[in-house]
Amino acid sequence: MVETVDDLSSNGMSETDYTLEPIGVVHSPLTSRKEAPRQADEGAPQAWLELSDSVTEGLDGIEVGDEIIVLTWLHHAHRDVLKVHPRNRVESSLIGVFATRSPDRPNPVGLHRVSVLEIAGQRLRVAAMEAIDGTPIVDIKAVLRNIDER
């Protein structure tokens, strides 16, 4: 059992215990990080989430109109960054990445709240999504308004 931070690095667990298996991929007209809006409410387009055959049954119960939370692996992010200029404005003071939504951070897991517009088999059309084309999807969760909003 992990009891302290030190145990995390000394308890003999192999790193593969923390390995994500992509469950799908984002298809988007956004093709580079540079053209992607910084947040979904800043002009992000619709996207298709294509899930792998092996996890398709995990979608049962998701309906058009639902709000869902998509977790992605931000594959173009820099994992060695701990301080950033908020919104890349160099005139802003550096702050810690954990006080921001920068994609650059030790574990580049993206968090995207989107609306489901269409369901076609193992593909979901959603809006608005600022992740770029080819971004691996690692999880989808229901929104729980009483705990995700307060």
Q: Are 69 and 141 in contact (CB under 8 A)?
A: yes
Comparison of 7 and 118: residue with beta carbon closer to a second copy = 7
Residue 1 binds to a second copy (criterion: CB under 8 A): yes
Q: How far is the CB of 111 from a second copy (least distance, A)?
A: 6
Q: How many residues does the chain have?
A: 150
Count CA atoms closer than 13 A to 56's CA, side-chain side. 9
Which residues ranging from 42 to 71 are in contact with a second copy (CB under 8 A)? 50-53, 55, 57-62, 66-69, 71
119 forms part of the interface with a second copy (CB under 8 A): no
Question: Least Å distance between CB 54 and a second copy?
Answer: 8
Q: Is 138 in the site for a second copy (CB under 8 A)?
A: yes
Q: Smallest gap, in angstroms, from Cβ of residue 61 to a second copy?
A: 3
Helix, strand or coil for residue 88? helix
Nearer to a second copy, 45 or 58 (CB): 58
Asked if 48 and 119 count as a contact pair (C-beta separation under 8 A), the reply is: no
The amino acid present at 88, given as its one-letter code, is N
Distance between CA 10 and CA 3 in Å, rounded? 11
Contacts of residue 137, Cβ cutoff 8 Å, sequence gap at least 6 = 22, 23, 24, 25, 26, 49, 51, 70, 71, 72, 73
Q: Binding to a second copy by residue 20, rule CB under 8 A?
A: yes
Q: Establish if 30 lies at the interface with a second copy (CB under 8 A).
A: no
Q: Where along the sequence are the contacts to a second copy (CB under 8 A)?
A: 1-5, 7-8, 15-25, 39-41, 50-53, 55, 57-62, 66-69, 71, 73, 75, 82-83, 94-101, 105-107, 109, 111, 113, 133-136, 138-142, 144, 146-150
